[in-house]
Amino acid sequence: MTDSTKSSGPNLLIMMSDQHVPFACGAYGSTMARTPNLDALAERGTVFDAAYCNSPICVPSRAAMATGRYVHQTGNPDNASPYLGTEAASWGHRAAQAGIPTTTIGKLHYRSVEDDTGFPDQRRPLHVRDGMGDLFHTLRSLQPPALQLRAAVADARPGESDYSRFDRSVASEAANWLQERSAQQDRWLGKVSFVTPHYPFTVPKEFLDLYPLETLPLPRRNDSQEWDRHPAVDIYRQACGLDQPLTREETLKAVQAYYGLVSFMDAQVGIVLDALEETGQADNTIVLYVSDHGELLGTDGLWFKGTMGEGSVRIPTILSGPGVPIGHRCGTNVSLIDVFPTVLHALGLSPALEDADLPGRSLLGIANEPDDTTRTVFSEYHSANSYTGSFMIRRGPWKYVNYTGFEERLYNLESDQWEEHDLAPEPAYADQLEQCRAAMREICDPDLVDQQVRERQRQRIEEYGGVANVLKKPLMAYSPAASS
């Protein structure tokens, strides 16, 4: 690897949120979301219009982003399988090996600060609860309904939560850290990670008030008569305690709270970007903004993530800074595994021999090329509220979903953005369906992966003393911010 500590190349700042769907961002066309800081970042750089997470839940998604590999490859398939640092190297390891100062501030959701995950300087770290994560997520078909999730949606209100207080502290810590870095001569790599707009739906009043209830639309397909009734989707809905519709007031208050949290998070992003500017480092820093997964936001009566719906797997991805096209929109399909090669590219590092088989590509390179209308990205889900493995590819405009044991699905997102017309049963699309199946088989055998993941989860339950012992652990709707 090159010695980039003496180079005049740019710094790299990765900013991450939790559970931000691009449809709730002005840069992605929302006329309702108040996201002035992200919108300004987008105006100065490139917006990726078809970006995806590689697993729509926190722990697996963050493991994929760290390692540049799929979670069925690394063994991080659920929220009880946090990244240890031994499964595969992270981009933090590569930066450290090159002598580049690397700092993380905020949520990582790995196992422990003691593990060598490639991030030795962790400030305000948030890791999984008790170093184990949520074993409830390994139960799958054995789990009782997670009624605490329904309660989390219905409990939308003004105020401060542990999450909003945590994010304020993350923004403040990041501003102080940028001040420190401005006094140094070497380039740096930093990651600043917020926990909002992830629920709890408790929102500082000034941000909640940005969205008067009477101005808010109901979610798409909010009426239970219109709900998507695919068996895997029905199972998720029931497992979250959402099989009975929320009231109109509960729904609108939750929508209001989510948008309020998005604006709150955007304000924290603004604090960090302002500090970058005020310390004179903005012109020499590449900034990448991503989220770990989306938010279903009431569509089909569903909330949170954990399905292959666009609201769950789509993420905002914005890149700005030296070498990035300004005011550009990129239509190439991308995903979080592209972050690893992006870090190497931005910092001028050569891949290690072990990185030769990484499936991702640098977002910097993709942003500077014509749109690739055939690129395939992949996502999978093996965690709570799902009885079956779910596997998705986006290939050009086509979206294909394989559910182990259930009917597959096919959509053309170019003409059907909201996934209202499943084309898989239609004979006219048989060739396209087979092409998508073949593209997925190049990545994995869904049935085999499902079996392997289920066996690992069964072993994990046994190691913990069985299902009864797993269920003795207090069930929580989200990880407390005090975990570290």
Quick: pLDDT tens for 48-104: 999 999 999 999 999 999 999 999 999 999 999 999 999 999 999 999 999 999 999
Confidence (pLDDT) at 4: 39
Question: What local confidence, expressed as pLDDT, does residue 6 receive?
Answer: 41
For residues 207 and 109, give the distance between their C-alpha atoms in angstroms, rounded to a whole number. 26
pLDDT digits (tens, 9 = 90+) for 454-484: 999 999 999 999 999 999 887 777 888 864 3
Q: Which CATH architecture has domain 4-472?
A: 3-Layer(aba) Sandwich (3.40)
17 contact partners, CB below 8 Å, separation of at least 6 = 193, 194, 196, 197, 265, 269, 289, 290, 291, 292
CA distance 320 to 51: 16
Strand order in the sheet with 328-330: 121-126, 102-107, 189-197, 11-18, 285-291, 317-320, 45-48, 328-330
Please name the residues in contact with 122: beta carbons below 8 A apart, sequence gap of 6 or more: 103, 104, 105, 108, 113
Give the residue from 369, 367, 316, 370 showing the smallest Cα distance to 27.
316
C-alpha span between 376 and 341 (Å, rounded): 16
Contact of 288 with 345, CB cutoff 8 Å: no
Report the C-alpha dihedral over residues 133, 134, 137, 138, rounded to 10 degrees: 70
Q: In which residue ranges of the chain is pLDDT below 70?
A: 1-8, 482-484
Q: How far apart are CA 41 and CA 416, in angstroms?
A: 28
Closest by CA to 21, choosing from 262, 372, 260, 245, is: 262
Sorted by sequence, the CB contacts under 8 Å of residue 49 that are 6+ apart come out as: 28, 329, 330, 331
Q: Following CA atoms 223, 140, 295, 413 in sequence, which dihedral angle do they give, to the nearest 10 degrees?
A: -80
Q: For the chain, how far is it from start to end, CA to CA, in angstroms?
A: 32
User: In the prediction, which pLDDT does 475 show?
Assistant: 76
Given this model, what pLDDT does residue 479 score?
83
Distance CA 369, CA 367 (A): 6
Alpha-carbon dihedral of residues 106, 155, 228, 436, nearest 10 degrees?
Answer: 0
Among the listed residues 140, 152, 149, 248, the one whose alpha carbon sits nearest the alpha carbon of residue 200: 152
pLDDT at 400: 98
Pairing of strands 317-320, 285-291: antiparallel
